[in-house]
A and B are shown apart, each in its own frame.
Chain A
């Protein structure tokens, strides 16, 4: 699976949009971009994933560049409860059994400030 690069930490004012970047320049055509977050020592929480097109759900939006070499996770109105470590993970799925594991990096520690 392709390697990802994320900033170590970011701050965001409460109520503002949080834009978390991720570089994945070696991504291949069958690899998806996933975003998870981990609040303190809780289990990682799925946020969103995409292949080529931009995606939006109730939690966030995912913007993937046309060349797919980078992406941005957008939390439109950050709250204090969004303070967490955010992981960008590139994951292929075309294995025999289709259940490829997630490879977590160090992620971005987002601090939402009141």
Chain B
């Protein structure tokens, strides 16, 4: 069964460093998303991406964040200068659009020291 994959599973970084989180969505999906979950809190939407551009973004997704689909398979989230409060699980998801369900990856645990 096709699934969303994410790498790395755990990333530790120093405050102020740049990180890139990688995702490989399900191959025939057209819509891509990033969510995050701070420990003990709700899953929060960050950004959605379709047709090589951002469709929607939340207030969390400020200028420090960017997304890219550099080739036909990868979907990346970059945090330019990490802060302590960026420590969270980051989940990638993809869907076929419309009422189609979103499928989530296993997540990347980001720890900012």
Contacts and interface: CB of A to CB of B under 8 A. Distances in A.
Contacts of A100: 48, 56
A38 B43 contact: yes
Main secondary structure of the interface of B (DSSP, over half): strand
A105 B93 CA distance: 18
A103 interface: yes
Q: Size class of A's contact patch?
A: 20 to 34
A42 B106 contact: yes
A61 B42 CA distance: 25
Contact of A99 (B4, B43, B50, B91): B50
Q: Size class of B's contact patch?
A: 20 to 34
Contact of A101 (B56, B97, B105): B56
Nearest to A102: B102
A105 B37 CA distance: 12
Interface stretch (A9-17, A43-51, A63-71): A43-51
B89 interface: yes
Contacts of A93: 98-99
Interface of A: 32, 34, 38, 41-46, 49, 51, 87, 93, 95, 97-106
Interface of B: 4, 30-31, 33, 35, 37, 42-45, 48, 50-51, 55-56, 58, 89, 91, 93, 95, 97-99, 101-107, 109
